[in-house]
Amino acid sequence: MKIDTCTKVILTLIAVALWGIFLSPLFQPKSVNATTGIIDVNLKQIDGSSIDRVLDVNIEEVNGSSVYNSLPVEIKQ
């Protein structure tokens, strides 16, 4: 099967375009915007049900009890 010049040119243009897409973030980084102020991250609903109380998600303690050394956790590699 003989590949003609037109096919080679088209495949070369596709390859150059793909490399351009791949390398474009290096030359034109996207701009980012930081938000100012406080963002409300409180849970309002869980599975459509309203939450009537405050959920304590403190890492050091939950409902006044320490969480350190309370749960055995196995880490497998």
Q: Rounded distance, CA 42 to CA 10, Å?
A: 54
Bigger pLDDT: 71 or 37?
37
49 domain residue, yes or no: yes
pLDDT digits (tens, 9 = 90+) for 5-61: 899 999 999 999 999 999 888 887 777 777 777 776 777 777 877 777 666 555 566
Please count the structural domains in the chain. Answer: 1
46 domain residue, yes or no: yes
Helix (H) or strand (E) holding 3: none
72 domain residue, yes or no: no
55 domain residue, yes or no: yes
Give the domain range for residue 53: 5-30+38-63
10 domain residue, yes or no: yes
Question: Given this model, what pLDDT does residue 75 score?
Answer: 66
The residue ranges of DSSP E strands in 1-77, in sequence order, are 45-46, 49-50, 61-62, 65-66
